[in-house]
């Protein structure tokens, strides 16, 4: 088991309202030319956050009280559309560590898992209440507990769902394939040296 497992996420939340928010809205296509993901944290919802001349709009990702939020509350079919992994990457690099929604684009949810970001489902009525709570008081801290599959914060306690294989992957750290290889470098080297087709590369 990796020591990089994701057990829980605690922090403030941002509410983004609307169904069918696709990956092009999460990060516009012109930012996909980046060679690495390192700078993508600047660009989530870029075209909704700023006017064409760069003037900031009133958007949750621009508000000072939301700047250190770790959870994102969304509605149905969030992350639909193209399969770009830049969408969860930009959210994570902005600071989002978990996404709670009614439903997700399947590839988006898988890409979230691959970077250690839980994408968990809640009932529509629970999401509406959570979004309203954040709108009324952005300072509320929530805890998403992957062991209990429950979100709590303020006056809310919400049951969550996600595919069990993804939950186990996050809890046990199996999502971090690079970390697993580094942590088992000696064993990996032994396998490499036993493979007949790697003999010319030793």
The model's pLDDT over 123-178, given as tens digits with 9 standing for 90+, comes to 999 999 999 999 999 999 999 999 999 999 999 999 999 999 999 999 998 866 66
Domain ranges of the chain: 8-175
pLDDT digits (tens, 9 = 90+) for 80-114: 998 889 999 999 999 999 999 999 999 999 999 99
Least confident of 29-43, 61-75, 160-174, 178-192: 178-192
Taking Cα atoms as reference points, which of 133, 137, 13 lies closest to residue 73? Answer: 13
pLDDT tens digit string along 12-25?
Answer: 999 999 999 999 99
The CA–CA distances, whole Å, from 92 to 102, 115, 131 equal 19, 8, 20
**What is the distance between the alpha carbons of residues 63 and 60, in angstroms, rounded to a whole number?**
5
- Report, at the CATH architecture level, how domain 8-175 is classified: Alpha-Beta Barrel (3.20)
The pLDDT-based confidence of 198 (bands split at 50, 70, 90) is low
């Amino acid at each position: 088991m990796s020591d990089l497992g994701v057990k829980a996420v605690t922090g403030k939340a941002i509410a983004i309202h609307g169904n069918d928010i696709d990956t092009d809205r999460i990060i516009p296509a012109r930012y996909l030319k980046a060679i690495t993901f390192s700078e993508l944290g600047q660009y989530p919802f870029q075209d909704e956050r700023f006017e064409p001349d760069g003037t900031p709009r009133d958007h949750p990702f621009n508000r000072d009280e939301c700047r250190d939020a770790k959870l994102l509350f969304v509605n149905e079919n969030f992350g639909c559309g193209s399969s770009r992994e830049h969408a969860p990457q930009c959210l994570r690099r902005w600071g989002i560590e978990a996404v709670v929604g009614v439903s997700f684009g399947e590839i988006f949810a898988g890409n979230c898992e691959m970077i250690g970001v839980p994408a968990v489902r809640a009932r529509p009525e629970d999401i509406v209440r959570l979004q309203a709570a954040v709108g009324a008081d952005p300072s509320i801290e929530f805890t998403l507990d992957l062991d209990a599959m429950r979100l709590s914060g303020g006056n809310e306690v919400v049951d969550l769902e996600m595919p069990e294989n993804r939950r186990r992957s996050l809890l046990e750290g199996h999502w971090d394939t690079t970390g697993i290889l580094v942590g088992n470098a000696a064993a990996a080297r032994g396998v490499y040296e036993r493979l007949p087709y790697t003999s010319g590369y030793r």
